[in-house]
Each structure stands twice: as C-alpha cells, then as structure tokens.
Amino acid sequence: MTTVPPGVRAAFLAALRPESDHADALPDPLPVGRVLRLVDPAKESTEKIRVLAGDDGGYYLDFFRRDGESSWHGRIREDGTDEKLENFEGQFGTKVFPDPADTEREQQRIYQHNARVRELLRKKGFED
C-alpha cells in the first residue's frame, strides 16, 4: 500500500483543520487511492467528510464535505494550498429573472451542472 509521506500528511492536516471538524481523524499513515470517511469521535458535529489522497506528479488530498444542506468540494496540494473543485450550485437559492423563461434556463443549467458534479463525485467515491 502506497502512503503519503509524513511531512505531506502534516501539510494536509494543517490545511484541512479550518475546512473540517473531523480533520484530526486523518489517518497516519495516509493511504493513497482510498476513499476514507473521517469521523473524530471527540467532536460533536453534523458534518460528513470523505477524503481521497492521490498523486498526479505531486501529492494532493481531495475532500468532499457536507454539513446540513451545504457542501464543499476541494483539493489540498502537498504544499498546503487549497483549490476549489466543482461543487453543487444553487445550495443557497437560485436567481429569479424578470423573464420566467430566463429563470427556467438558469434552473436547467444548474440542474445539468449538478448532475455532472454528482457523477464526478460518484466516480471519486464521494457520493453513494
């Protein structure tokens, strides 16, 4: 089993702490290529988070976090920098246009975007 080097795991942990209540449950050693659900039993939280460490010429940690109705999909690089990845749109409402046809087009665009995101997350193992 390939694992992330300890120094890289430490960078992931430091960057994940502001993002997740369950960051301290990041395993050591951290396996590459395995989706993990992090649960820190010491924290009372409704958050659910899954992570996936990978290597694309440099180590990264993808994560998908849900808390209630909102979600966040991101990547942490081995140097601790964050990248936003595609996430669901319309989580906090959608824009209503003066022309109902424009509103309908926007809702369809969001629906199609969210279907693509759902499939992307499913392929990573983040969505059941």
- Both structure tokens of 85: 């990845």
Q: Assess if residue 111 is contained within a domain.
A: yes
The position carrying tokens 């960057």 is 15
Q: Assess if residue 1 is contained within a domain.
A: no
pLDDT at 93: 80
Q: How far is CA 21 from CA 1, 38, 42, 61, 67, in A?
A: 27, 9, 10, 16, 10
Average pLDDT per block of 10 residues along the chain, 128 residues long: 96 96 97 97 94 97 93 96 93 86 93 95 88
pLDDT at 128: 59
pLDDT at 118: 95
pLDDT at 127: 78
Q: How far is CA 43 from CA 21, 38, 113, in A?
A: 7, 11, 33
As for how many domains the chain has, the answer is 1
Q: Assess if residue 48 is contained within a domain.
A: yes
Expressed as residue numbers, the domain containing 103 is 6-124
The distance of Cα 14 from the centroid of its chain, to the nearest Å, equals 16
pLDDT at 119: 96
pLDDT at 83: 94
